[in-house]
Amino acid sequence: MPLVLLQNAVPSCNLSYLAAAFAVSWVVFFAYVFFVTRKQQDLSREILQLRHTMEQSGAGDG
């Protein structure tokens, strides 16, 4: 069984596509984290407002 060396298995022209896909995936990941964090902050703010409203109306007594 002969040994075959794969010197050109990954041509250099495809490396730019790999780098672009890698960069795009990181951008998508950070955008997702940004929007999830923003949504979580909005929900936390809304919870605080609801608690404040309940305390003002006296509904939070028990």
DSSP state of 60: G
> Which pLDDT score is estimated for 6?
62
Q: What is the CA angle 12-14-15, rounded to 5? A: 65
What span, in angstroms and rounded, lies between the C-alpha atoms of 42 and 4?
59
Residue with tokens 């997702």: 32
- How far apart, in Å, are the Cα atoms of 31 and each of 1, 26, 42? 50, 8, 17
Residue bearing the bigger pLDDT, 17 or 2: 17
> Which pLDDT score is estimated for 36?
99
In this prediction the pTM is 0.64
pLDDT band, very low/low/confident/very high, at 54 (cuts 50, 70, 90)? very high
- Write the pLDDT tens digit of every residue in 30-49: 999 999 999 999 999 999 99
Average pLDDT over residues 5-26: 81
What span, in angstroms and rounded, lies between the C-alpha atoms of 38 and 49?
17
